[in-house]
Amino acid sequence: MRSAKAALHRLCDPDHEVSAHYLIAEDGQCWHLVEEAARAWHAGKGAWGEVSDVNSRSIGIELANTGQHPFPEPQMTCLEGVMRRIMADHDICPERVIAHSDLAPDRKQDPGRSFDWQRLARGGLAVWPAGDGDGETDFLSSAAAFGYVTPSGGKDASTLILDAFRQRFCPAARGPQTHRDRAMMQALARDYPVDRTAALP
């Protein structure tokens, strides 16, 4: 959306069938739109690890940004505060914080390459690999161990997951898969293997 107000209007319009628990504007203004115990429809169809319906098991935070420019300091500061409180209240570990592009790489591009995931990781709000692997493990196998779910049909799965991974961990990278991509994904799978019991009661 072009502005936070436009996004707010969209998220509150039942005709669009999209919602989120929180919306944060560029200036740090935050709207609490859906109770955290209620299901919002921010992710659409998407999966992570064994969780096949992420909307039913997540708290969605939308950030007003076109995806083409850095996220302003007031917005990031507000986001960090909201995340710290949510993660403490619901006992959410940093490896369970993911992007829309992670859970639906065939459909989603947000928050995009301009979002500062390393900043969140430094604050204990997301993950980042500590060193690399040897890069000898198959990229998709490591991706699955970390949590990525291969989309069915359409564009080549390896290309989709590579793009989602790079948006978050190597935003400047372009072109074919490299040894560096494999080494970093291998390290993520090693350091943060997805909890395969997450979909169980």
Phi and psi (nearest 5°) for 150? -65, 120
Q: 186 with 137: CB under 8 angstroms?
A: yes
Query: In the predicted model, is pLDDT for residue 198 greater than 90?
Result: no
Phi and psi (nearest 5°) for 48? -150, 120
Catalytic residue numbers read 62
| pLDDT value at residue 200 | 54
Q: Which contiguous run of DSSP H or E holds residue 120?
A: helix 117-122
Q: Where do the structural domains in the chain lie, given as residue ranges?
A: 4-191
Calculate mean pLDDT across residues 72-99. 97
User: What is the C-alpha separation between 105 and 126, in angstroms, rounded?
Assistant: 19
Query: In the predicted model, is pLDDT for residue 13 greater than 70?
Result: yes
Radius of gyration of the chain (CA): 16
Query: In the predicted model, is pLDDT for residue 90 greater than 70?
Result: yes
Write down the residue that tokens 């998220």 correspond to: 11
pLDDT tens-digit map of 21-44: 999 999 999 999 999 999 998 888
Residue 154 CB neighbour total at 10 angstroms:
9
Domain 4-191 has CATH 3.20.10.10: no
Calculate mean pLDDT across residues 99-125. 95
Instruction: Render 149-199 in DSSP notation, one character per residue.
Output: -PPPSSS-HHHHHHHHHHHHH-TT--SS--HHHHHHHHHHHHHS---TTTT
